[in-house]
Amino acid sequence: MRAITVEAESVGPARSLYNALIAFHPELSGSEHEGYRVSVELGTSESRILDVLSAIEEYVTEANSGPASIDVGGRRYTMFAVLPEPPE
């Protein structure tokens, strides 16, 4: 089954991301030596994929701790925070 996996350098950000994705039943794995990973099974629903990506984007933007390194089915992506819109 396909999964989205987000890498985290330390346990603190990994747990924060885990909590941000709790509605999607994430799994947290890894160690201090190899880094941490938070994974969410995607299933076949496109809406679930979009919901998970939106939750990750919201976390990355709110955490303001740099981009997220994401693996989806063996392909690697980088997600950046959404920049606030400039005032008009």
Q: Which domains does the chain have, with CATH numbers?
A: 3-79 (3.30.70)
Alpha carbon 10 to its chain's center: 14
Mean pLDDT of 29-58: 93
3-state secondary structure of 38: strand
Whether 84 has a pLDDT exceeding 80, the answer reads no
Residue 1 has pLDDT above 70, yes or no: no
Whole-angstrom distance, CA of residue 88 vs CA of residue 79: 26
Rounded to two decimals, the pTM is: 0.88
Q: Helices (DSSP H) in the chain: which residue ranges?
A: 11-20, 46-63
Task: Give me the pLDDT at residue 14, please.
Answer: 94
Q: What is the pLDDT of residue 65?
A: 81
What is the average pLDDT value for the chain, to the nearest integer?
92
